[in-house]
Amino acid sequence: MTYKLNQAASGFEKFLMRGNQAVGEGAIRAGCRYFFGYPITPQNELFEYMAKRLPEVGGTFLQSESELAGINMVFGAAAGGGQCMSSSSGPGFTLMGEGLTALAAAQLPAVIVCVSRAGPGLGRIASSQADYRLATRGGGHGDYQCLVFGPGSAQELYELTFKAFDLADDYRNPVIILSDAILGQMMEPVTIDSLPEKKAPEKEWAVKGKGDNPRKVIKVAPHTDDELISWNRHLKAKYEGMKAKEQRFESLYTDGASTVVVAFGSTSRIALDALMRAREEGKPVGLFRPISLWPFPEIALKALLEQGVENLIVVEANNGQMIEDVRLSAGSDAKVIHYGVGGGHIFSPDEVYREILRFV
């Protein structure tokens, strides 16, 4: 259920919805009309939202026999020019690796959502950020790269999912939304009419039967060694373009800060509570929140160090995954500390506050 809020004063339509539902509505708003997926907790509210909403807008919802089949259905619908999406959580997202590399190889646009739970193995449904590496480093074989966004609120899940469809089409590449159990389950107000209702664009490269035109072939394999090399060079150039243009982040209170907490998604919300308390006590602490996880916002992070930030505390709900990107961006001279553990531990603002105090 979503609940409409009385917002006569603001003039905006606001709904109280779960993060998972906000993703679904963002997708519908962006023109998504095909959803293929398999039930898994904690993403089920998104799956069920699409099951309810897609028939209302003339779209197709199909429960696949596995995530492997689901992502390959996405592949087929995308090849036909459909605006499509799938979603899962860690164990199912692993199975999607094959489809993700195929989508990237064939340069097909699609939006894939991972609502992370705690692993490894089957793990449990408690929230974690343990799929950071899986999302940002691929998951499938071969040199390929997806755009990955890690929104931090229901509103941002809504807006970035919408934006993800545009970017998927612009780059002809899969885009991943990395959410987690906290964000997915948490209810927050979402302003729905902050975004226009879009129709899926006409995709001239899609297959629909050749008619009177030259035929088209959507390929996951090049035919010759020469084609293989030029194909990979093209992909590399595309990924470099994404890296240059799509770095997104939020910096809060970083001016004059000597210590900056680096956190994304749900953890950034907890970290912000903790560092506000430290700031009230006069401690010069700021927050750097990567929004694009690939490309990692390395330019902005580097700039913080040039401004005089001495410590970077990477708070993440895993054993240390995003810290690799922070270290790569910051360089070997920077002091980078990890705080976090995998396995479903949810931080309290208190413990993050105490960690901050160790450095300021």
Partner 1 sequence: MKDFKIVYQKPDAMTDIPFPYCPGCSHGIIHRLIAEVMDELDIAPKTIGITSAGCSVRNWRQFDIDMVMSMHGRGPAVATGLKRARPEAVVFTYQGDGDMAAIGTGEVIHAASRCERITVIYVNNGVFGATGGQQAPTTLIGQATTSYPHGRDPDVSGYPLKMAELLSMVAPDSYISRTSIHTVKHIMLTKKAIREAFLVQIQDQGFGLVEVLAACPTNWRLDSASCMEKIESEIIPHFPLQTFSSPKKED
Question: Which parts of this chain interact with partner 1 (CB under 8 A)?
Answer: 34, 36, 60, 62, 64-66, 68-70, 72-82, 84, 98-99, 102, 106, 207-212, 215-221, 223
User: Cβ of residue 171: shortest distance to partner 1, in angstroms?
Assistant: 20
Complex with partner 1: residue 52 or 223, whichever CB lies closer: 223
Kindly tell me which of 100 and 323 has the beta carbon lying closer to partner 1.
100
Min CB(232)–partner 1 separation in Å:
17
d(CA 334, CA 236): 29
The neighbouring-strand residues paired with 187 are 18
In terms of CB distance, is 36 or 347 closer to partner 1? 36
User: Residue 60 in contact with residue 34, Cβ under 8 Å?
Assistant: yes
Residue 144 vs 264, nearer CB to partner 1 = 144
Distance CA 178, CA 346 (A): 17
Min separation Cβ 79 and partner 1, Å? 5
Minimum CB distance to partner 1, residue 67 (Å): 11
* Amino acid, single-letter form, for residue 194: S
Count of Cβ atoms closer than 10 Å to residue 346 Cβ = 14
CA separation for the pair 37, 63 (Å, rounded): 5
- Reported residue count of the chain is 360
| Closest approach of partner 1 to the CB of residue 160, in Å | 24
Sheet of strand 259-262: strand arrangement: 249-252, 285-290, 259-262, 311-315, 335-339
The minimum distance between CB 175 and partner 1, in angstroms, equals 18
Under 8 Å CB-to-CB from 288, ≥6 apart: which residues?
A: 249, 250, 251, 254, 260, 261, 262, 300, 301, 304, 312
Nearer to partner 1, 82 or 265 (CB): 82
Q: Which is nearer to partner 1, 42 or 81 (CB)?
A: 81
Q: How far is the C-alpha of 30 from the C-alpha of 85, rounded, in Å?
A: 11
Tell me how crowded residue 355 is: count the other CB atoms within 10 A of its CB.
18
Closest approach of Cβ 207 to partner 1, in Å? 4
CB closer to partner 1, 10 vs 66: 66
